[in-house]
Structure 1
Amino acid sequence: MRLALTPGEPAGIGPELAVMAAQQARPYELVALADAELLQQRAAQLKLPLRLRQVDFTEQARPSEAGELVYSPIPLAAPVEAGKLDSANADYVLQSLSEANRLALSAEVAAIVTGPVQKSVINNAGHAFSGHTEFFAEHSNTAKVVMMLACPGLRVALATTHLPLKDVSEALSQEQLEQTCRILYSELQNKFALSKPKVLVAGLNPHAGEGGHLGSEEIDVIEPVLNKLRAEGMQLEGPLPADTLFTPRYLEQADAVLAMYHDQGLPVLKYLGFGRAVNLTLGLPYIRSSVDHGTALDLAGTGRADPGSIEVALDQAWQLAQNSRNA
């Protein structure tokens, strides 16, 4: 089995995370879609051993050896200095993502693991780019995806993602929320091997609207959707007040939480598991996981980057790929 790794922004810590990941043996073939010279340069800066081997997709995948990194060449447009952004390399980042998408759609890799990108550089280069989630949805022709972050003990999916808070209520509709719930529930069953998952669903407003006194979205949107899906046999509890939902009494009985907006659920998860969390895109025709942090330009090339999140992302992708193969 092969997994594709896109290191992301070349001036950030992504390339060295790839080098760090190569320091241990793995039961699958990890393929970095990257510039070989960049990987060697960063390995030298970190004083870590690195043997590069160009992938041959006509051959059977073999487990990765410690100190070896298999790569598929994506050439840089301009030389890279760690910590210094250059919009000339925006196309390099997008090419690696496009190639990962192609390989996953053709089943040449079993999953995609992504390092952090610098959205501003890509947009400044003239490419409309709002994030990995939206990029892979568009390029795989997937109409609807769900963003979920997970760490040991907690999974949080989002009904809306990168929206201004003032736009969240308008973005929530019964149709949109039903699609989100169906994707989340199906993926928990098929990729996480949970036969009958239990999902806690947050309300949008304080106190989950308090019977309509603090907002009507719970009554008009959330409750009708949950009632419909519960009648089909889904275990969905809510809408629950977000300030009490994230307590052991509720969470110890749940497999996942569905939050209504980005900063309702993710601060709790990142407080609990930052550095051990993984970002997953549900609903794609393939598995995609990612680190839970940014490019950390100030750490690039110093050797002080924490590889914890990339290790979790790799482990999660590997586990989900095995679950999918056995389903």
Structure 2
Amino acid sequence: MSSTPQIAVTMGDGAGIGPEVIVRALLDPTISAAAHCVVIGDAERLRQAARIVGLEPDIVAIETVGEAEFTPGRINVIDLGLLPPDLPFGAVSAVAGDAAYHYIRVASELAMSGQVQAICTAPLNKAALQAGGHIFPGHTELLAELTGTKEVSMMLSTPKVKVIHVTTHIGLIDAVDRIEPGLVERTIRRGHQALVDAGVAAPKIGVCGINPHAGENGLFGRGEEETKIAPGVEVCQADGIDVHGPLPADTLFFLAGRGDYDLVVAMYHDQGHGPVKILGLEAGVNVTVGLPVIRTSVDHGTAFDIAGKGIADHRSMIEALRLAVEMAPERVAG
């Protein structure tokens, strides 16, 4: 048995920056030494990306993970061959959206069958995904569907703060309506377990309120903190989880940023994403918590405005791969 995890790296939307950041990240010596990565995507698109960024890797199309060879300068690709060679960079394409779906589908199958120990995803474009006939808000919901998982959480990780979300890709009014004590409790538990699995023995968790000043004793809002959030927190406290809240979100993120909390529980998408992206977009990583497989991702989009120009920052992809290595079971068939 080898201790080097095998990671399926999905190419994301081929019209975006995914191919560029993948090529750069997989040629980083710290990544090639830590993981055996197999790209699920389009070999020719990766070759185009390599030329754009001025690199000359040996990009080899393979059919199975078992065919991969891990030598310096080589990138192994399970080539689905779904993209036309003249696909333009920087534009929404139904073809690219459909291809992005199939990259994830194949990676999920490989992970569920144990052929890889983690999935690391490059960004997809939601408009392209849906134009390609796959009606999902994003990776999180798509992976839940593919793995038969009823409920998952999105966790964002940076060197300064980690955030898990009670709700994500829904409108704010719908998010407030969906939040209830059971969902808050389950989200806290998923976040707690994720940190324990990552080596934090006793995580300290802070839970955001919904309203300004966490409602300030009923002054703001309609009592959401007391009815929707506090009961879920109290159940987790009774089970010995070191969790506090609901707390004012602005203060909580400040305290977490200086190290007082290991994890922040955000109630809705922008409450968590805004502070995280200010604190460390270039090193941010998205983790889907609650899946039966490990999944990490870059914490940025397809960046169509700079796709194909060779200037995309690949640091988030490197961090996503590093976190996948840390979280993946250290076992792979030798």
Normalised to the residue count of structure 2, the TM-score between the two structures is 0.91
- Alignment map for 1:1-327 (pairs within 5 Å): 1-25=5-29, 26=32, 27-55=34-62, 57=64, 59=66, 64-79=70-85, 80-190=87-197, 192-215=198-221, 216-248=223-255, 251-322=258-329
Q: Confirm or deny: 8 A CA contact 2:11 2:39 kept in the other structure.
A: yes
The amino acid that maps onto 2:244 is E
Separation in structure 2 between the aligned mates of residue 262 and residue 89 of structure 1, nearest angstrom? 26
* Alpha-carbon spacing, 1:226–1:56, altered in 2? closer, same or farther (3 Å): same
The alpha carbon displacement at 1:181 in A equals: 1.4
Q: Confirm or deny: 8 A CA contact 2:112 2:293 kept in the other structure.
A: yes
Separation in structure 1 between the aligned mates of residue 235 and residue 35 of structure 2, nearest angstrom? 42
**Structure 1: 5+ residue stretches without partners:** none
The alpha carbon displacement at 1:55 in A equals: 4.4
* Alpha-carbon spacing, 1:249–1:10, altered in 2? closer, same or farther (3 Å): closer
Q: Confirm or deny: 8 A CA contact 1:278 1:309 kept in the other structure.
A: yes
Separation in structure 2 between the aligned mates of residue 67 and residue 202 of structure 1, nearest angstrom? 45
Cα RMSD between the aligned structures? Answer: 2.0
The amino acid that maps onto 1:53 is V
Separation in structure 2 between the aligned mates of residue 183 and residue 249 of structure 1, nearest angstrom? 18
Write the deviation string for residues 288-327 of structure 1: whole angstroms up to 9, x where unpaired: 01111111122222111111111111111111115799xx
Identity of paired residues, percent?
39
SS of 1:211's equivalent? coil
The alpha carbon displacement at 1:54 in A equals: 3.8
Q: Confirm or deny: 8 A CA contact 2:256 2:262 kept in the other structure.
A: no
Separation in structure 2 between the aligned mates of residue 20 and residue 221 of structure 1, nearest angstrom? 45
**Structure 2: 5+ residue stretches without partners:** none
Normalised to the residue count of structure 1, the TM-score between the two structures is 0.93
Q: Confirm or deny: 8 A CA contact 2:15 2:96 kept in the other structure.
A: no
After TM superposition, the structure 1 stretch with the greater mean CA deviation from structure 2, 95-104 or 168-177, is 168-177
After TM superposition, the structure 1 stretch with the greater mean CA deviation from structure 2, 131-140 or 66-75, is 66-75
* Alpha-carbon spacing, 1:251–1:213, altered in 2? closer, same or farther (3 Å): same
The amino acid that maps onto 1:3 is I
Separation in structure 2 between the aligned mates of residue 24 and residue 168 of structure 1, nearest angstrom? 40
Report the count of equivalent residues.
Answer: 323
Q: Confirm or deny: 8 A CA contact 1:24 1:65 kept in the other structure.
A: no
The amino acid that maps onto 2:173 is K
Q: Confirm or deny: 8 A CA contact 1:33 1:74 kept in the other structure.
A: yes
The alpha carbon displacement at 1:9 in A equals: 0.7
After TM superposition, the structure 1 stretch with the greater mean CA deviation from structure 2, 251-260 or 20-29, is 20-29
